[in-house]
Structure 1
Amino acid sequence: MALDTGRFLADLDAARRIGSYRTGVHRPTFSPDDMESRRWLAARMEQAGLEATIDGIGNVFGRHGGAGPHLLAGSHLETQNHAGWLDGVLGVIGALELARAGLPVDVCAYCDEEAHWGDFIGSRSLIGEFSEADMDAARNRETGKPLRLALEEVGIAGRERLVIDPGRYKGALEMHIEQGTQLENAGLRIGVVTGIVAIRQFRIMITGQQDHTGGTTMRERRDAGLTAVRLLGMIDQEFPRICADRSVWTTGRIALEPNAPMIIPGQAELVFSFRDLEVEVMDRMADCLRRIVAESNRRERCPAVLEEIGRSDAAICDPDIVRAFSEAAETQCPGAWQRMPSGAIHDSQILARKLPIGMLFVPSIGGISHHWSEDTKREDLVLGMEVLAEAARRLLGA
């Protein structure tokens, strides 16, 4: 069977219509549109000759019934709220097209990569690292609804949760949009991912004195908000001295208490994170952050307390898969590709605990993602599919 890029594009367009929002998609995990997309995918898998299952946590798995060796390929179907039409689903439909082209590939849509209900609950479950206690504890990040209740409501509670056998696979592949501007800015069309960055996340709690904005003199004030601003300014001044070229850092949350126009903030909460591929760089950034907080406490009237609240380790892509992607890219688009790290995290980072992994990027127009205007040129989608298929053939010896 031949690769059919027209069929591949048609299915991307069909998936886009499920939960459409402006030019993007709104399909949060376990919403009616999300479940419709899962059932739609399972039907497509069956048509492709795969044995399709929607398991007890929402993973949609299509098992190839023929002889191996096999590859696992896929990504996710759900979206961020009012977000783009390619993030995740590109890798799912690309994996499906590999199977329809006759390659021995198991296809999976890993449930909830977008973390509406927790961190990678689908891929963690698939590798046997999401326990019943984890199921009990999981809640929706916006409503607080228990995961188990949601599974009952969508009709999949009590189903078996699939766990893969790593010995079945030569590796796991994932095609994805870049979600950045590196390829577009360089005039390139394919990115061969070398690794997925690590993340460390911290909470910084700053304690001042809540007081009246008119009656409290500037000399008397202990303004937690001003201390927070100055501390963040120190980070932006010092981090460039010790980071690497692709290091990034973000203050994703700034919460003042009581957050009222006529009251001096008595407390500030900052949630701060940074990312890089190299452990040494991450350690330097963590040490620098600790020094900055210590210096803030030396200078300021409002003490700050630093707490690490989360971390994920980097996942290095398998050299053989990187080589296969590189050779395929050079065959399909000579000189128009590069090796690069992934600054975003993906299910492949979880699968890497059990399997060799590899990722392939296609450009994002303007670098936009997690927004309804996210897009990629159709010719780049087709090229990505062709490179993915060529690399899969090389890995399988087909």
Structure 2
Amino acid sequence: MAQIDTARFIADLQELRKIGEFKTGVHRPTYTPQDMESRRWLMDRMAEIGLEPSMDGVGNVLGKHKGPGIKLLAGSHIETQNEAGWLDGALGVVAGLALARAGLPVDVVACADEEGHYGGFVGSRSLTGILTEEQIDAASNRTTGQTLREALAGAGLAGLPRPPLEASRYKGFFEMHIEQGTQLENAGLRAGVVSGIVAIWQWKIVIEGNQDHAGGTTMAERRDAGLTAVRLLAAIDQEFPRHVGERTTWTTGRIALEPGAPSIIPGRAEILFQFRDISTEKLAELETVLRRLIQESNRREKCPARLEAVSLSKPAMCDHAMMACLAEAAEAVQPGCWQKMPSGAGHDSQYIARLMPVAMLFTPSIGGISHHWSEDTKIEDLELCMQILGGAAERFLAV
């Protein structure tokens, strides 16, 4: 039986969090010097335990086991949101190191830009062969506006190959991750066996009005794109609850008014809007509702709105055999400590699932906090879940 060194696992996590340290969390955006330092740190750790490390043309780091036979793939991502937590993503990568250190035939991967600084899932999309050169050309940083090509050149990655994963090499992919919610904590449980990963459907809603003077234009004359945006979003928030599933969520991530001055009536509004669900049928229903509400807004308002699809991902169901191995391992380590649950967040697993079976294990998040520097998980829960993951990996390799 493989022996998981949980002390070294925690020590690696603590060492990695020092790169880009911000308060009790980490600021390590994609392709920044801190991010690239963390990737080099990871390659050093891979080499220490006998893996063969490499970095590709978008920053994916892959450590390959040198032995013969079928392998498991394990990992996640190591860049972070701005001023975010120390475990989101890094947990899965360091867990992969712990599996390999225990002598299991495991390749470890850190996928680049899962956090979406340059559009989202750049690394896992490249590894699955669906990221085109044209998409790389078109991508830019959501905060700074820097193009992805410029960022890759600055990070020393320009011109490097970006080969897809060898699907035939792997029996499956395990990803350990923090829950980023409160279900486990509220239930008094310590592990979650993920049943599937939601799809995220991203939209841009553009509303065209008429920019004019805030004092000289009467209320009757106005075509205020900002007010139309507010009324449309209120209608969405009122209607969507009639059409949701158990874990459907929807979010208005940004409302940008142009020109954005206090004494000017907004002539244009741009809304970034998303909804999430694990059911494709439910997603399609919500799209129908959204289109109907925009149509109704256009009949009622002076400012027409149009809907543009930004990205429509697919939900990914986790592999039943891998889930069973996680459940059996959890029962063996601490009976009754776990539950089966869907993931409300997107993960690299949903893209890697296009090539091989995948499974995810969630650790509890204290207070459900994520994408913030105060994100945390109890050390004893991290250790427990690492033991569960080790047991599951060993079971699945033996199936």
TM-score band w.r.t. shorter chain: over 0.9
Tell me the CA shift for residue 282 of structure 1.
Answer: 0.8
- C-alpha distance in 1, partners of 2:203/2:148? 26
Q: CA 1:333–1:251 in 2, change beyond 3 Å: closer, same or farther?
A: same
Write out aligned runs for 1:170-189 (5 A).
Answer: 170-189=171-190
1:23 aligned partner, one-letter code: T
Write out aligned runs for 1:50-65 (5 A).
Answer: 50-65=51-66
- C-alpha distance in 2, partners of 1:139/1:217? 40
- C-alpha distance in 1, partners of 2:221/2:144? 41
Tell me the CA shift for residue 363 of structure 1.
Answer: 0.8
CA RMSD of aligned residues (A): 1.6
SS of residue paired to 1:150? helix
1:123 aligned partner, one-letter code: S
- C-alpha distance in 2, partners of 1:254/1:159? 38
Identity among equivalent positions (%) equals 63
Tell me the CA shift for residue 350 of structure 1.
Answer: 0.9
- C-alpha distance in 1, partners of 2:101/2:136? 34
Match of 1:353 in 2: 354
Can you list the C-alpha shifts for 1:180-238, whole angstroms capped at 9, x where unaligned?
11111222111111111111122222222222322333233222222211111111111
- C-alpha distance in 1, partners of 2:161/2:217? 62
Which piece of structure 1 moves more, 148-157 or 188-197? 148-157
Can you list the C-alpha shifts for 1:223-254, whole angstroms capped at 9, x where unaligned?
22222111111111111111112000011111
SS of residue paired to 2:16? helix
Match of 1:191 in 2: 192
Match of 2:77 in 1: 76
Match of 1:280 in 2: 281
2:312 is equivalent to residue 307 of structure 1? no
Tell me the CA shift for residue 70 of structure 1.
Answer: 1.0
Q: CA 1:206–1:353 in 2, change beyond 3 Å: closer, same or farther?
A: same
Can you list the C-alpha shifts for 1:101-143, whole angstroms capped at 9, x where unaligned?
1100001111121122333221222222233334433333333
SS of residue paired to 2:137? helix
Which piece of structure 1 moves more, 52-61 or 242-251? 52-61
Match of 1:325 in 2: 326
2:126 is equivalent to residue 125 of structure 1? yes
Can you list the C-alpha shifts for 1:346-383, whole angstroms capped at 9, x where unaligned?
11111011111111100111111111111101111111
Can you list the C-alpha shifts for 1:278-301, whole angstroms capped at 9, x where unaligned?
011111111111111122222222
1:245 aligned partner, one-letter code: E
Match of 1:369 in 2: 370
Write out aligned runs for 1:141-180 (5 A).
Answer: 141-180=142-181
- C-alpha distance in 1, partners of 2:148/2:210? 39
Number of residues of Structure 1 aligned to a counterpart in Structure 2: 398
- C-alpha distance in 2, partners of 1:145/1:243? 37
SS of residue paired to 1:301? coil
Tell me the CA shift for residue 385 of structure 1.
Answer: 0.4
For normalisation by structure 2, the TM-score amounts to 0.95
- C-alpha distance in 1, partners of 2:134/2:301? 43
SS of residue paired to 1:96? helix
SS of residue paired to 1:170? strand
Can you list the C-alpha shifts for 1:249-276, whole angstroms capped at 9, x where unaligned?
0111111122221222222221111000
- C-alpha distance in 2, partners of 1:133/1:392? 37
SS of residue paired to 1:217? coil
What 5-or-longer segments of structure 2 have no aligned partner?
none
Match of 2:391 in 1: 390
- C-alpha distance in 2, partners of 1:370/1:271? 18
- C-alpha distance in 2, partners of 1:203/1:98? 42
Match of 2:241 in 1: 240
1:20 aligned partner, one-letter code: E
SS of residue paired to 1:204? strand
2:266 is equivalent to residue 265 of structure 1? yes
Tell me the CA shift for residue 314 of structure 1.
Answer: 0.6
SS of residue paired to 1:119? coil
Tell me the CA shift for residue 165 of structure 1.
Answer: 1.3
SS of residue paired to 1:282? helix
- C-alpha distance in 1, partners of 2:185/2:135? 40
Match of 2:24 in 1: 23
1:174 aligned partner, one-letter code: E
2:179 aligned partner, one-letter code: E
Which piece of structure 1 moves more, 195-204 or 374-383? 195-204
Tell me the CA shift for residue 30 of structure 1.
Answer: 1.8
Match of 1:289 in 2: 290
Which piece of structure 1 moves more, 120-129 or 274-283? 120-129
1:171 aligned partner, one-letter code: G
For normalisation by structure 1, the TM-score amounts to 0.96
Can you list the C-alpha shifts for 1:60-107, whole angstroms capped at 9, x where unaligned?
111111133210000111111111100100000000000001100001
- C-alpha distance in 1, partners of 2:132/2:281? 32
SS of residue paired to 2:359? strand
1:338 aligned partner, one-letter code: Q
Tell me the CA shift for residue 145 of structure 1.
Answer: 3.0
1:172 aligned partner, one-letter code: F
1:379 aligned partner, one-letter code: E
Can you list the C-alpha shifts for 1:29-51, whole angstroms capped at 9, x where unaligned?
22221111111111111111111
Can you list the C-alpha shifts for 1:1-43, whole angstroms capped at 9, x where unaligned?
5211000000000001111011001111222211111111111
Moved beyond 6 Å, runs of 4+: none
Which piece of structure 1 moves more, 83-92 or 177-186? 177-186
